[in-house]
């Protein structure tokens, strides 16, 4: 039986529309080739360009489309010269994260053969881990609301049982799914600073409680400072890592650095019910409208979406297609013949996306 899923698409600002169109085209092609699932797409206008045009950055109809959808695909939003009257940035993706309680930021970090990385990887070693960042509390809890007086400034570090339990449940489920897919090492690492902060000792104790429910997975802990060192010295040893908000913010940029930049870095923001899939990069206004943007991070985000939907709704064909799509991008990168400028090539956005389609359907 065919299961149908509705995808809300935020094509966003800058290079957003250019990288969204070929990504949606690939998804349509994959879904139409599968008897097991179908996808429908709803355009959800929002962002800085929409604000400039209409005076509205996030129309209620787009929020409703996001809430109704089975998954949300988003490119990037915000433009440097379009801001609210008070000067703050227009970033509906943050409104979305709050409105839908997307507590888990998921950043896969992979470096496959042929991919550029600033590290000199030992022969035969590849990087393949997932960093999960709590995205609603932690050291970002008082974000913009800290107390500042003449003589001191204070912010709050908040760890709650409710969010942490959801976060760790999600983390171990993801590690189990990776293991089942023959990927990863069945290892989950809690990254904290439990030796200094009681809040992180609490975080760790909740992690341990969830770990006890998964005897088939290895669970361990690492301090965040040591983790930064090991991500450079032996990143191939990590599998699934989970951490609080600010540590995750910092480590995920380190992860993007390992991948040789933003062009191949996908991400997801996941809650109990909803999920947003988007590339790590921004709207790249400096190259918008030229047809030269790299679509791979967006396409890899779409692959994560297929994975997530397939696991959540038990459609193995979608998980398989997510893998196929990711492998097709990895294949194009490894061959090195059709790459955009940021990866050292000369191809345009559409050519790069066409190479992925060809790998999927012709090769």
Q: What residues make contact with ligand ATP under the rule CB under 6 A? A: 15, 76, 78, 262-263, 281-284, 286-287, 293-294, 297, 342
d(CA 342, CA 284): 12
Q: Does 235 bind Mg ion (CB under 5 A)?
A: no
CB 288 → ligand ATP: shortest distance, Å? 8
Of 108 and 282, the one with the shorter C-beta distance to Mg ion is 282
Cβ-contact 255, 131 below 8 angstroms: yes
Taking CB within 5 to 8 Å according to partner kind, which of Mg ion, ligand ATP, none is near residue 22?
none
Q: Which residue in 92, 184, 282, 322 binds Mg ion (CB under 5 A)?
A: 282
Of 105 and 282, the one with the shorter C-beta distance to Mg ion is 282
Taking CB within 5 to 8 Å according to partner kind, which of Mg ion, ligand ATP, none is near residue 328?
none
Q: Which stretch binds Mg ion (CB under 5 A): 203-211, 240-248, 279-287, 337-345?
A: 279-287
- Burial degree of 220 (CB within 10 A; 0-12, 13-18, 19+): exposed
H or E element that contains 42: strand 37-43
Taking CB within 5 to 8 Å according to partner kind, which of Mg ion, ligand ATP, none is near residue 69?
none
Of 15 and 328, the one with the shorter C-beta distance to ligand ATP is 15
Q: Measured at CB, which residue is nearest to Mg ion?
A: 282
CB 282 → Mg ion: shortest distance, Å? 5
d(CA 76, CA 257): 19
CB 140 → ligand ATP: shortest distance, Å? 16
Q: Which residues have C-beta within 8 Å of that of residue 88, sequence separation ≥ 6?
A: none
Of 45 and 282, the one with the shorter C-beta distance to Mg ion is 282
Q: Which stretch binds Mg ion (CB under 5 A): 32-40, 280-288, 296-304, 305-313?
A: 280-288
d(CA 283, CA 292): 13
Taking CB within 5 to 8 Å according to partner kind, which of ligand ATP, Mg ion, none is near residue 342?
ligand ATP
CB 343 → ligand ATP: shortest distance, Å? 8
d(CA 148, CA 154): 6
Q: Which of residues 22-41 bind Mg ion (CB under 5 A)?
A: none
| DSSP letter, residue 343 | G
Output the six-digit token pair for 291: 């047809």
H or E element that contains 132: strand 127-134
d(CA 360, CA 354): 10
Closest among 142, 132, 138 to 108, alpha carbons compared: 132
d(CA 174, CA 181): 10
Q: What are phi and psi of 65, to 5 degrees?
A: -60, -40
CB 270 → ligand ATP: shortest distance, Å? 20
Q: Where do contacts with Mg ion occur on this chain (CB under 5 A)?
A: 282
């Amino acid at each position: 039986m065919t299961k149908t899923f509705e995808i809300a698409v935020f094509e966003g600002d800058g290079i957003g529309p250019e990288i969204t169109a070929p990504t949606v085209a690939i998804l349509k092609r994959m879904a139409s080739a599968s008897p097991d699932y179908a996808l429908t797409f709803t355009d959800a206008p929002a962002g800085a360009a929409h604000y400039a045009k209409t005076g509205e950055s996030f129309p209620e109809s787009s929020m409703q489309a996001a809430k109704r959808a089975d998954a949300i695909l988003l490119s990037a939003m915000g433009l440097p010269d379009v801001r609210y009257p008070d000067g703050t940035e227009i970033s509906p993706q943050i409104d979305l994260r709050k409105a839908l309680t997307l507590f888990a930021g998921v950043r896969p970090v992979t470096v496959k053969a042929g991919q550029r990385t600033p590290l000199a990887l030992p022969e035969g070693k590849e990087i393949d881990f997932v960093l999960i960042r709590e995205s609603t509390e932690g050291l970002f809890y008082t974000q913009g609301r800290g107390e500042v007086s003449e003589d001191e400034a204070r912010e709050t570090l908040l760890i709650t049982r409710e969010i942490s339990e959801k976060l760790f449940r999600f983390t171990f489920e993801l590690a189990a799914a990776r293991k089942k897919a023959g990927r990863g090492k069945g290892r989950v690492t809690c990254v904290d600073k439990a030796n200094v902060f009681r809040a992180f000792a609490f975080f760790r104790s909740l992690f341990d409680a969830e770990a006890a429910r998964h005897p088939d997975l290895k669970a361990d802990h690492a301090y965040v400072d040591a983790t930064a060192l090991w991500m450079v010295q032996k990143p191939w040893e990590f599998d699934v890592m989970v951490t609080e908000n600010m540590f995750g913010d910092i480590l995920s940029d380190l992860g993007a650095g390992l991948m040789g930049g933003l062009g191949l870095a996908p991400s997801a923001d996941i809650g109990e019910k909803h999920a947003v899939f988007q590339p790590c990069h921004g709207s790249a206004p400096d190259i918008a409208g030229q047809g030269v943007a790299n679509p791979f991070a967006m396409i890899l985000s779409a692959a994560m979406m297929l994975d997530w939907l397939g696991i959540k709704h038990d459609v193995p064909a979608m998980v398989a297609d997510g893998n196929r799509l990711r492998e097709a991008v990895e294949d194009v990168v490894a061959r090195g013949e059709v790459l955009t400028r940021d990866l050292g090539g000369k191809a345009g956005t559409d050519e790069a996306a066409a190479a992925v389609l060809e790998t999927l359907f012709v090769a």
